[in-house]
Amino acid sequence: MGSIPANYKTAMCQAIRSSFPENKVYVNDSGADLLQGDFAVLYKKVCGVTDLDSLSGASLSLTVDDKLEILTSNINASAVFGTLGGVVYWDETAKEFTDIAAGGLREVGFIVEVKDSNDLIRFQMYNVVKSTAPSTAVVASAMTLLTANNTVTVTLTGGTFADDVALTDLTFAGTDAAALAAGTLVRTSDTVVTITIATGNTGTNNVVTVTGAAQDLQAVSVAAVASTV
């Protein structure tokens, strides 16, 4: 497969073959500074390789051709990558590629040369995330609602809510489950949703579960807090 180029240590991968390269300008919303040659998923769905260094939040040029082949050793230590055509997932948290399906991972390509003795793989990249491996539900600790409470704030740790998260993607248990299920959900950020509910509830055993469908990246935990706004 060949050796890693001398400048490889400053970049995540080498874009080595492209029939019809297409360069587009995006905002670096990855949450981290990127070096030229880094792989990135922007806007949670656009896959590409950076053309130049880019600070977090700044504009950057991204090569997004879906015929792009990438050579990389930036892979999970337990990944096998032993099958031609096998799925390549991107782990946004670990910033590495893997073939082990897990919650919150993004499918970004398929293997065209299996892993060699130097832990190098070559894969063909999709320019848009093809699918996301299913996330696992996370359950908040029991929550008490007071009579005046009209808002529940649900916060994820270590993960993010799906852009299109809906109230039906959450489940509720406890005395006031029906009132919570009848509320109105607003996604206020990647990690927070609020649920506006009717007042008059007094349950002490209310439990909020954020299902896999509600998540974009797999969360480690979730907290639900009642308040009056």
Q: Let me know whether 33 and 121 are in one domain.
A: yes
Please, what is the average pLDDT of the chain? 85
Q: Is the pLDDT of residue 130 over 60?
A: yes
Reply yes or no on whether the pLDDT at 223 is more than 90: yes
Domain hosting residue 122, numbered range: 6-132
> What pLDDT, on the 0 to 100 scale, is given for residue 23?
64
The answer to whether position 1 is within a domain reads: no
Q: CB–CB of 201/153 below 8 Å? A: no
Q: How much is the pLDDT for 17?
A: 46
What is residue 171's predicted lDDT score, i.e. its pLDDT? 98
Put simply, whether the predicted model's pTM sits higher than 0.85 gets the answer: no
The CB-side HSE value for 219 (13 A sphere, CA atoms) comes to 25
User: Does residue 154 share a domain with residue 96?
Assistant: no
Higher-confidence position of 156 and 45: 156
How many structural domains does the chain have?
A: 2
pLDDT over 60 (residue 213): yes
Q: How does strand 69-72 pair with strand 221-227?
A: unpaired
